[in-house]
Amino acid sequence: MIGIVDYGLGNLTSVAAAVAKVGHTPRVTGDAAELWRSERLILPGVGAFGDGMRRLRELGLVEPLTRMVVEEGKPILGICLGSQLLARESEEFGTHEGLGWIDATVRRLAPGDDELRIPHVGWNDLDQVGESPLFADVPETALFYYVHSYRLVVDQPGIVVGSCTYGSAFPSVIQAGNIFATQFHPEKSQRHGLLLLQNFLERVH
């Protein structure tokens, strides 16, 4: 069973459908006991960082998720906002403390080109700058679907295995031990997105 963390924000139906499409059983839940029983976790998310952390705290999920992921080593994939919540803090609408599982902060996109609009919405590249089981059979030319106004800024460049360029480069795939994250939406990225998701479900141990 694949635990999809339900904290009230995110494309839960789309993520669950994608998990099922690649041959696995999704369980959308905000119940910590159900998440403990899951083989691996997906933390989706759409919306503001502060709202996401507030919802996780209200549901009492921060401590059990931290035990599962950091102490027990359960594999997790953060998607879009879910990827940003893994960081220490965010500057979105003020300063907000994150889960702190990766050594990173979240800052507003700065494309450096007045013609590039924020949010960054649509299909864009994925430069595979490091080795990862997520990239098995994913071609270098694959495009993925992005919707975001903020980006991760990491203190340990070695955890960045994929990047995207939107005026300037930003991390699009993070890998830190059992912790994986994508700034794009694999569930919306058609064939190659489903392949990357399947790689997380089947190739990550």
Q: Report the catalytic residues.
A: 80, 185, 187
- Cα atoms in the Cβ-side hemisphere of radius 13 Å centred on 113: 10
Task: State how far the alpha carbon of 117 is from the alpha carbons of 80, 112, 121, 122, in Å.
Answer: 18, 10, 9, 11
How many Å apart are CA 146 and CA 121, to the nearest integer?
5
* CB distance 55 to 8 below 8 Å: yes
User: Could you please report the per-residue DSSP string of 139-184?
Assistant: -TT-EEEEEESEEEEES-GGGEEEEEEESEEEEEEEEETTEEEESS
* DSSP strand pairing (160-166 vs 89-90): unpaired
DSSP string across 111-144:
-S-TTS-SSEEEEEE-EE-S--GGGTT--TT-EE
Owner of token pair 């980006």 = 151
Strand pairing class (40-43; 2-5): parallel
